[in-house]
Amino acid sequence: MKRFVLLYHQFPPDHADKSHYDLMLEAEGLLRTWRLGEKPDMLQPVAGQPIADHRLAYLDYEGEVSGDRGSVTRIDQGEYEIVRDDATTLIVNLYGNVLSGRLAVLIS
């Protein structure tokens, strides 16, 4: 199975971007990434926005992000399998320590 990571991306208080969660799924040598406005709880769908793919290094990285873009903290990691992946919805089965079960991301 392929790996996933959920990171909390915290920006400095005076930064234009707001802190958020990044769901990253390993795929073909990179991490497909969605910005989530709230921490997923597996009980209800969460809104997400696809953003640029990231390097695989983020599977294991925690700390400062270059370019004065805050820092990331790992919330969970594990393996995943895709159930549905289209323009409006991403549904994945996550097998992590915190997130375990089916997660639905409504694409905005």
Cβ neighbours, 10 Å, residue 58: 19
Per-residue pLDDT tens for 37-77?
899 989 999 999 999 999 999 999 999 988 778 899 999 99
Residue 101 pLDDT exceeds 90 = yes
Q: 63: which residues sit within 8 A by CB, 6+ positions away?
A: 71, 72
Q: For the whole model, what pTM was predicted?
A: 0.94
Q: How far apart are CA 61 and CA 7, in angstroms?
A: 9
pLDDT confidence of residue 55: 95
Q: For all residues of the chain together, what is the average pLDDT?
A: 94
Q: How far apart are CA 31 and CA 60, in angstroms?
A: 12
Q: 13: which residues sit within 8 A by CB, 6+ positions away?
A: none
pLDDT confidence of residue 78: 98
Specify the 3-state DSSP secondary structure of 46: strand
pLDDT confidence of residue 17: 82
